[in-house]
């Protein structure tokens, strides 16, 4: 493959998928504190065109655009909830990797912890029940003779 | 000719699988020993057929026979030989054949190592496995035949997805499937026990090595997958909470719970119905994973090309297999109730607690993975549940689990004594606290909360887990005699638990002290991250067997010392017009330096992603330790001795007859 | 009874999966439906090089289209789906049932001129969204995307992917009279 063709292919493909135009945009300088806020925000935002990546991870053109957009919003002093709302207004809740706590998601957020309590409750009842059962009827030995032999081997 | 042979072998296998199901069941009903004995022969014949089909497909790939549609879609004449062999499982149809090969392989193993198991039980186990085989073979032949021909024959193939052209990924699916599919044996044992109603400590003992073996392969498979993603996806992540990863992690968690509850059932004869349920659930979660990956109901990084017809078939298959097992369970399990005293502060009590946290963690992942689907099905809109959710829910559930690991190895069966336990655990606890405070400060100069917590739990797990082995060795006159006296199962458990601790240390440190930077550098410019200076020399051309690439050169210095030079690549695969990021990593036990190329610009500058990842190797080392622990535990002499005893019994019987 | 709980859970899950099989997890509903369309003001594409050389291009915004329902079609010369829907857009333009506003998304002017020259121009005006900012305001995540905006300026419907006659007849046509 000729050098020229290689360069053309790489330029075409690497500078954005197909021949999508990438506009040169001015850098948006951020303070250290703003950089930290941006870094905290990006993993919570979903790239819409990728299969399952956050804006922090993705290199898809739309993700780069949105990242630049979010950077601009951070620079303009908007808070994290405001920025999230800005994106939700345009793309819907799908854009949030951390779903908001509301009527639809309380089961999602509280379910696992309720399940721990439930399981612990069942376990404790089981344990208490086992003692009561043992007290009521002395158990026959669990292992029969043949089994004992197997286990001793 | 060869593809037809493979196709024919699959059809033959379907017939055999059907007989393998029906004959033993009839035999069980009619008490017919001949029909029961047929199970083993059928299992072995079925394995031979599937293996033949598998070899046929592999030959088609090696010879790049593009008249086979599946080969034409996933191979290319430029594809290197090793990837031609691994391309067999590179997409839906072939990976299903690999699934089948594993399943028939496990069934074959059951038919060979079943001599000490009652003939009736072993035949029923093989019959249940036959049901699964029949379903999958029907699925393959009706919707996903890898031997379908293509006409007209294309001159060139579409090539294997470049993402999959990596050694890690070449071996990741086989190990993963070995694990996934291996849980079918535990499932079959559980269903067979529900059919016969005989479920005792011996049953648990027979089931244990199969479960442990499947578990250790799944552990290795997940570890390899994580390692692959880290190297190939180009942004330094090692776990994504992607639906497909969750699909492999859920059976792992359930399988881990199963291993522990099997121990209780074997030693104390308790928890029978719970153990059986776990065995059913573990394999059902494997099936669920297959459904999620292949049906396209969820958005995922690794999903196969999806097809609703396939999704529907797997759904029905899942309904039949899991549904009938759970119906049997609802009917028969009440009879399995056992009377036995249970104390919370005993080994079995703690193992039950361990089960609580493992199963709830598994349920949390299930809920998070399926929630978007449920919300959508209820017409409540589209939402995403991503890593922030899983981290927030999963990590807190792991904390009590790690605390328990330390106790579990020390507290005796039946009833523990708190004074004795404290005597044995005070030193490990003290050590863990000291470690958690000193090590983060010494290595990184500041104590992040997560690093201290992770250090505490990791060190505690490792030291407390080693306690048992240490005590056994000390009890012997010499160190060597001591080491020899420790049973392999104990070594296995200790190693696996220590692996868990090592993993926790890795996770805590890499999250707490990792650096990352997304930076655009002109040639000969440099940037500083942590103590390191990364200099970008420039990018040049490079060429591989089936790709062309831009290769960056990045020198790394620390102070005045040169550390290393890395060559990350941005590859272009002409066959699929695909661009791939090939990151470059300099790895030591204490830290990884990781560079990947982003976008190139016309002035010769590039955007680079640079990561410093402290102790990330420990994450995979932990996985490997758990795998090795599983190897040791599964090969414990108890399981082998029972076989010798069986043989002795046979000889005695022969003598008497004479 | 409690031994039947796992079976019940399975049944519920299978039900959800059966529904899920018929949904596309990647198809996103637009939160803009029923709301006022995002405001935009974009340069009009010059249809010939000579025209482009002339003074600064005119700019058009929402106000220019008020009073009549119109379609906003995000497209680009580099997008495969746009080629697929293009013949149908030509048909729509010939029928003249609705104004078709094209927004050329992240595309080089020269490329799109060539593309239109080869295929014909169905759009009333074409506006240029070079950096994709208007696309972000409309929540565009994959061109082509087509929005129906009512006479009073509200978004009534969004279609993702190539526009088909079936989709237009079913989802757009009934809404054309609304909001006037």
Instruction: Name the average pLDDT for chain B.
Output: 90
The answer, yes or no, to whether residue B516 has pLDDT greater than 50, is: yes
Which residues are within 8 A (CB) of B1 and not within 5 positions of it... i.e. 6 or more apart?
Answer: none
**Total domains present in chain C:** 1
Which residues are within 8 A (CB) of C145 and not within 5 positions of it... i.e. 6 or more apart?
Answer: C73, C74, C138, C158, C159, C160, C161
Is B382 in contact with C28 (Cβ distance < 8 A)?
yes
Chain A residue with the nearest C-alpha to that of C38 = A90
Of A130, A150, A151, the CB nearest to B341: A130
**Cα(A38)–Cα(A35) distance, integer angstroms:** 5
Fill in the DSSP letter of residue B149.
Answer: B
Helix-, strand-, coil-residue percentages of chain A, each rounded to 5: 60, 5, 35
Q: Within its chain, how far is the Cα of B491 from the centroid?
A: 21
Task: Answer whether residue B383 is part of any domain.
Answer: yes
Same domain, B390 and B538: no
Q: Is A97 part of the contact surface with chain C (CB cutoff 8 Å)?
A: no
Same domain, B150 and B216: no
pLDDT given at position B162 = 82
Task: Answer whether residue C40 is part of any domain.
Answer: yes
Tell me the per-residue pLDDT of C126-162, one tens digit each, with 9 for 90 and over. 999 998 999 999 999 988 999 999 999 999 999 999 9
Give the range of the structural domain holding residue C102, as residue numbers without chain letter: 30-175
Which chain C residues are Cβ-neighbours of B319 within 8 angstroms? 10, 14
C54 phi and psi angles, rounded to 5 deg:
-60, 170
Is A9 in contact with B548 (Cβ distance < 8 A)?
yes
Is C3 in contact with B327 (Cβ distance < 8 A)?
no
Tell me the per-residue pLDDT of B441-488, one tens digit each, with 9 for 90 and over. 988 888 889 999 999 999 999 999 888 888 888 888 888 888 888 889
Same domain, B111 and B218: no
Tell me the per-residue pLDDT of B387-418, one tens digit each, with 9 for 90 and over. 999 999 999 999 999 999 988 888 888 888 88
**Cα(B408)–Cα(B346) distance, integer angstroms:** 8
Task: Answer whether residue B366 is part of any domain.
Answer: yes
Of B237, B353, B397, the CB nearest to A112: B397
Quickly tell me which residue has 């459904």 as its tokens.
B291
> How many CB pairs lie under 8 A apart between chains A and B?
167
Q: Is B257 part of the contact surface with chain C (CB cutoff 8 Å)?
A: no
Is A6 in contact with B541 (Cβ distance < 8 A)?
yes
The CA R_g of chain B, rounded to the nearest whole Å, is 27
Domain boundary among B362, B393, B408: B408
Taking phi over 0 as left and psi of -120 to 50 as alpha, with beta for the rest, B82 belongs to: alpha
Query: Starting at the edge strand that comes first in sequence, how are the strands of the sheet with B584-587 ordered?
Result: B515-521, B606-614, B591-600, B584-587
Is A21 in contact with C136 (Cβ distance < 8 A)?
no
Bridge partners of residue C102, in order along the sequence: C73, C126
Mean pLDDT of B295-299: 78
CA distance C22 to chain B (A): 7
**Cα(B639)–Cα(B215) distance, integer angstroms:** 17
- pLDDT category, B161, cuts 50, 70, 90? confident
Task: Answer whether residue B6 is part of any domain.
Answer: yes
pLDDT given at position A16 = 38
CA distance B367 to chain C (A): 11
pLDDT given at position B100 = 96
Of A19, A21, A62, the CB nearest to C141: A62
Same domain, B148 and B206: no
Task: Answer whether residue B391 is part of any domain.
Answer: yes
The continuous run of DSSP H or E covering B46 comes out as helix B33-62
The Cα angle at residue B278 between residues A113 and A128, in degrees rounded to 5 = 65
Tell me the per-residue pLDDT of A36-58, one tens digit each, with 9 for 90 and over. 899 899 999 999 887 788 998 88
Same domain, B395 and B343: yes
> How many CB pairs lie under 8 A apart between chains B and C?
67
pLDDT given at position B653 = 40
pLDDT given at position A145 = 52
Task: Answer whether residue C45 is part of any domain.
Answer: yes
Q: Is B602 part of the contact surface with chain A (CB cutoff 8 Å)?
A: yes
Is C136 in contact with A69 (Cβ distance < 8 A)?
yes
Look up the CATH number of the domain holding residue C134: 3.40.30.10
Is C17 in contact with B334 (Cβ distance < 8 A)?
no
Contact partners for chain B, using 3 or more CB pairs closer than 8 A, are: A, C
pLDDT given at position B306 = 63
Task: Answer whether residue B632 is part of any domain.
Answer: no
pLDDT given at position B654 = 38
Which chain A residues are Cβ-neighbours of C77 within 8 angstroms? 19
Q: Is B515 part of the contact surface with chain A (CB cutoff 8 Å)?
A: no
Chain B residue with the nearest C-alpha to that of C27 = B382
pLDDT given at position C28 = 85
Is B202 in contact with A150 (Cβ distance < 8 A)?
yes
**Cα(B192)–Cα(B195) distance, integer angstroms:** 5
Site from A51, A53, A62, A67 to mutate, C interface, most C CB atoms within 10 angstroms: A62
Q: Is A12 part of the contact surface with chain C (CB cutoff 8 Å)?
A: no
**Cα(C6)–Cα(B327) distance, integer angstroms:** 9
Chain A residue with the nearest C-alpha to that of B639 = A153
pLDDT given at position A17 = 41
Is A91 in contact with C31 (Cβ distance < 8 A)?
yes
Site from B296, B332, B336 to mutate, C interface, most C CB atoms within 10 angstroms: B296
Q: Of B4-13, B137-146, C50-59, where does mean pLDDT reach its minimum?
A: C50-59
The answer, yes or no, to whether residue B657 has pLDDT greater than 50, is: no
Q: What percent of chain B stands above pLDDT 90?
A: 63
Is A143 in contact with B371 (Cβ distance < 8 A)?
no
The CA R_g of chain C, rounded to the nearest whole Å, is 20
Same domain, B147 and B254: no
CA distance C157 to chain B (A): 16
Task: Answer whether residue C22 is part of any domain.
Answer: no
Which chain C residues are Cβ-neighbours of A19 within 8 angstroms? 77-78, 108, 111
pLDDT given at position A18 = 47
Task: Answer whether residue B284 is part of any domain.
Answer: yes
Q: Of A66-70, A114-118, B470-474, where does mean pLDDT reach its minimum?
A: B470-474
Quick one: tokens of B262?
């099997």
CA distance C99 to chain A (A): 24
Task: Answer whether residue B304 is part of any domain.
Answer: yes
CA atoms within 13 Å, Cβ hemisphere of B423: 6
pLDDT given at position A136 = 74
Is C3 in contact with B334 (Cβ distance < 8 A)?
yes
Same domain, B27 and B95: yes
Task: Answer whether residue C91 is part of any domain.
Answer: yes
Enter the ipTM: 0.89
Task: Answer whether residue C23 is part of any domain.
Answer: no
Task: Answer whether residue B485 is part of any domain.
Answer: no
Is B340 in contact with A147 (Cβ distance < 8 A)?
no
Q: Is C149 part of the contact surface with chain A (CB cutoff 8 Å)?
A: no
The answer, yes or no, to whether residue B222 has pLDDT greater than 90, is: yes
Fill in the DSSP letter of residue C169.
Answer: I
Of C28, C108, C142, the CB nearest to A21: C108
Task: Answer whether residue C95 is part of any domain.
Answer: yes
pLDDT given at position B355 = 94
Which chain B residues are Cβ-neighbours of C30 within 8 angstroms? none
Task: Answer whether residue C20 is part of any domain.
Answer: no
Is C25 in contact with B327 (Cβ distance < 8 A)?
no
Domain boundary among B352, B381, B408: B408
pLDDT given at position B506 = 95
B639 phi and psi angles, rounded to 5 deg:
-70, -35
Chain C residue with the nearest C-alpha to that of A95 = C28
pLDDT given at position A6 = 39
**B79-104 core/surface letters (b: 16 or more CB in 10 A; e: else):** beeebbebbbbbbbbbbbbbbbbbbb
Which chain B residues are Cβ-neighbours of A110 within 8 angstroms? none
pLDDT given at position B412 = 86
The answer, yes or no, to whether residue B287 has pLDDT greater than 50, is: yes
CA distance B511 to chain A (A): 13
Which chain B residues are Cβ-neighbours of C16 within 8 angstroms? 370, 373-374, 377
Which chain B residues are Cβ-neighbours of C21 within 8 angstroms? 295, 297, 308, 311-312, 315
Which chain C residues are Cβ-neighbours of B377 within 8 angstroms? 16, 19-20, 23
pLDDT given at position A153 = 43
Quick one: tokens of B64?
């790049």
**Cα(A93)–Cα(A45) distance, integer angstroms:** 10
pLDDT given at position B344 = 87
pLDDT given at position A152 = 47
pLDDT given at position B302 = 59
pLDDT given at position B483 = 83
Q: Is B280 part of the contact surface with chain C (CB cutoff 8 Å)?
A: yes
Same domain, B230 and B138: no
Residue among C30, B434, B42 nearest A90 (CA): C30
Which chain A residues are Cβ-neighbours of B360 within 8 angstroms? 112, 115-116, 119
Are C126 and C44 in contact by the 8 Å Cβ rule? The answer is yes
pLDDT given at position B169 = 77
Maximum separation of any 2 CA atoms in chain A, in Å:
89
**Cα(A105)–Cα(B634) distance, integer angstroms:** 42
**Total domains present in chain B:** 3
- pLDDT category, B105, cuts 50, 70, 90? very high
Are B4 and B57 in contact by the 8 Å Cβ rule? The answer is no
Of A25, A66, A88, the CB nearest to C136: A66
Give the range of the structural domain holding residue B120, as residue numbers without chain letter: 1-160
Mean pLDDT of B124-144: 96
**Cα(B359)–Cα(B401) distance, integer angstroms:** 11
Chain A residue with the nearest C-alpha to that of B649 = A150
How would DSSP label each residue in C103-116? EEES--HHHHHHHH
The continuous run of DSSP H or E covering B481 comes out as helix B479-485
pLDDT given at position C179 = 47
Name which residue leads in pLDDT, B136 or A143: B136
- pLDDT category, B652, cuts 50, 70, 90? very low
Domain boundary among B408, B431, B465: B408
Q: Of B51-60, B305-314, C98-107, where does mean pLDDT reach its minimum?
A: B305-314
Taking phi over 0 as left and psi of -120 to 50 as alpha, with beta for the rest, B538 belongs to: left
Q: Is A94 part of the contact surface with chain C (CB cutoff 8 Å)?
A: yes
The answer, yes or no, to whether residue C168 has pLDDT greater than 60, is: yes
Of A20, A48, A66, the CB nearest to C106: A20
Is C136 in contact with A90 (Cβ distance < 8 A)?
yes
Same domain, B220 and B312: yes
Mean pLDDT of B25-50: 94
Long-range contacts of C133-137 (CB under 8 A, 24+ apart): C133/A69, C134/C38, C134/C40, C134/C42, C134/C103, C135/A65, C135/C74, C135/C103, C135/C105, C135/C106, C136/A65, C136/A66, C136/A69, C136/A90, C137/A90, C137/C38, C137/C39, C137/C40
β C155-160/B584-587 pair status: unpaired
pLDDT given at position B301 = 61
């Amino acid at each position: 493959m000729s050098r020229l063709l290689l360069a053309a292919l790489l330029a075409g493909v690497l500078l954005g998928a197909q021949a999508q135009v990438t506009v040169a945009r001015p850098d948006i300088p951020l303070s250290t504190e703003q950089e930290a806020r941006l870094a905290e925000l990006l993993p919570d935002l979903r790239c819409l065109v990728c299969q399952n990546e956050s804006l922090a991870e993705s290199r898809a053109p739309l993700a780069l655009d949105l990242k630049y957009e979010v950077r601009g919003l951070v620079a303009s002093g908007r808070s994290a909830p405001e920025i999230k709302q800005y994106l939700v207004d345009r793309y819907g809740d799908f854009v949030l990797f951390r779903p908001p706590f509301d009527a639809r998601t309380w089961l999602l957020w509280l379910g696992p912890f309720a399940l721990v309590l439930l399981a612990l409750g069942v376990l404790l009842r089981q344990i208490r029940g086992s003692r009561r059962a043992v007290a009521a009827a002395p158990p026959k030995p669990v292992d029969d003779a043949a089994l004992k032999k197997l286990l001793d081997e | 000719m060869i593809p037809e042979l493979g196709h024919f072998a699959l059809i033959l296998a379907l017939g055999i699988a059907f007989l393998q199901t029906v004959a033993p069941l009839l035999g069980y009903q009619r008490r017919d020993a001949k029909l029961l004995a047929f199970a083993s022969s059928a299992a072995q014949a079925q394995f031979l057929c599937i293996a033949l089909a598998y070899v046929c497909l592999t030959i088609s790939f090696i010879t790049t026979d593009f008249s086979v549609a599946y080969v034409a879609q996933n191979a290319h004449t430029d594809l290197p030989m090793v990837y031609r062999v691994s391309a067999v499982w590179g997409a839906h149809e072939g990976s299903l054949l690999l699934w089948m090969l594993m399943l028939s392989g496990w069934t074959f193993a059951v038919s060979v190592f079943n001599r000490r198991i009652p003939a009736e039980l072993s035949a029923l186990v093989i019959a249940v496995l036959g049901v699964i085989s029949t379903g999958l073979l029907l699925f393959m032949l009706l919707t996903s035949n890898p031997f379908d021909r293509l006409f007209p024959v294309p001159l060139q193939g579409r090539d294997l997805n470049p993402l999959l052209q990596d050694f890690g990924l070449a071996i990741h699916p086989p190990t993963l499937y070995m694990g996934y599919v291996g849980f079918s044996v535990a499932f079959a044992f559980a269903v067979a026990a529900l059919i016969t109603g005989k479920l005792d400590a011996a049953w648990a003992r027979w089931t244990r090595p199969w479960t442990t073996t499947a578990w250790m392969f799944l552990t290795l498979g997940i570890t390899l997958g994580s390692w692959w993603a880290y190297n190939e996806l180009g942004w330094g992540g090692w776990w994504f909470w992607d639906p497909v990863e969750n699909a492999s992690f859920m059976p792992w968690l359930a399988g881990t719970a199963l291993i522990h509850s099997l121990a209780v059932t074997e030693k104390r004869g308790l928890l029978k119905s719970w153990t059986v349920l776990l065995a059913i659930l573990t394999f059902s979660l494997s099936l669920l994973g297959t459904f999620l990956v292949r049906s396209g109901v969820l958005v995922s990084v690794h999903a196969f090309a999806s097809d609703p017809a396939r999704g529907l078939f797997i759904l029905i298959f899942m309904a039949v297999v899991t549904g009938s097992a759970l119906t049997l369970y609802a009917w028969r399990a009440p009879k399995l109730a056992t009377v036995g005293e249970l104390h919370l502060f005993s080994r079995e009590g703690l193992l039950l607690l361990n089960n609580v946290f493992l199963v709830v963690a598994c349920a949390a992942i299930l809920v998070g993975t399926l929630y978007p689907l449920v919300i959508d099905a209820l017409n409540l809109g589209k939402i995403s549940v991503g890593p922030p959710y899983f981290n927030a829910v999963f990590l807190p559930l792991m904390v009590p689990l790690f605390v328990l690991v330390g106790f579990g190895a020390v507290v005796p069966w039946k009833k523990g004594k708190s004074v004795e336990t404290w005597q044995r655990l005070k030193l490990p606890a003290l050590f863990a606290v000291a470690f958690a405070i000193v090590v983060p400060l010494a290595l990184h100069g500041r104590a992040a909360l997560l690093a201290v917590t992770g250090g505490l739990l990791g060190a505690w797990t490792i030291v407390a887990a080693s306690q048992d082995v240490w005590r056994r060795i000390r009890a012997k006159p010499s160190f060597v005699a001591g080491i020899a006296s420790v049973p392999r199962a104990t070594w296995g458990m200790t190693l696996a638990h220590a692996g868990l601790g090592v993993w926790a240390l890795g996770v805590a440190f890499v999250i707490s002290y990792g650096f990352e930077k997304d930076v655009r550098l002109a040639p000969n410019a440099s940037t500083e991250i942590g103590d390191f200076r990364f200099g970008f020399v420039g990018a040049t051309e490079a060429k591989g067997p089936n790709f062309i690439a831009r290769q960056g050169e990045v020198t790394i210095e620390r102070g005045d010392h040169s550390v290393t030079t890395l060559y990350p690549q941005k590859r272009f695969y002409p066959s699929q017009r695909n661009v791939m990021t090939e990151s470059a990593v300099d790895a030591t036990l204490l830290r990884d330096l990781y560079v990947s190329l982003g976008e190139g610009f016309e002035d010769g500058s590039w955007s680079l992603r640079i990561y410093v990842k402290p102790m990330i190797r420990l994450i995979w080392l932990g996985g490997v330790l758990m795998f090795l622990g599983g190897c040791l535990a599964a090969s414990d002499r108890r399981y082998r001795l029972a076989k010798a005893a069986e043989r002795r019994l046979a000889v005695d019987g022969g003598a008497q007859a004479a | 009874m409690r031994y039947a709980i796992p079976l019940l859970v399975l049944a519920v899950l299978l039900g959800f999966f059966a529904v899920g099989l018929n949904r596309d997890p990647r198809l996103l509903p637009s939160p803009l439906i029923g709301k006022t369309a995002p405001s935009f003001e974009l340069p009009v594409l010059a249809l010939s090089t000579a025209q482009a050389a002339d003074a600064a291009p005119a700019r058009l915004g929402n106000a220019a289209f008020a009073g009549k329902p119109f379609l906003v079609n995000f497209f680009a010369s580099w997008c495969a789906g746009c080629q697929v829907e293009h013949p149908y857009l030509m048909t729509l333009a010939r029928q003249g049932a609705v104004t078709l506003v094209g927004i050329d998304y992240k595309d080089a002017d020269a490329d799109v001129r060539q593309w239109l020259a080869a295929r014909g121009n169905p759009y009333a005006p074409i506006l240029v969204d070079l950096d994709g900012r208007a696309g972000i305001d409309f929540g565009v995540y994959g061109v082509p995307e087509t929005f129906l905006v009512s006479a009073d300026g509200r978004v009534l419907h969004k279609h993702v992917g190539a526009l088909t006659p079936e989709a237009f007849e079913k989802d757009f046509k009934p809404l054309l009279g609304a909001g006037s």
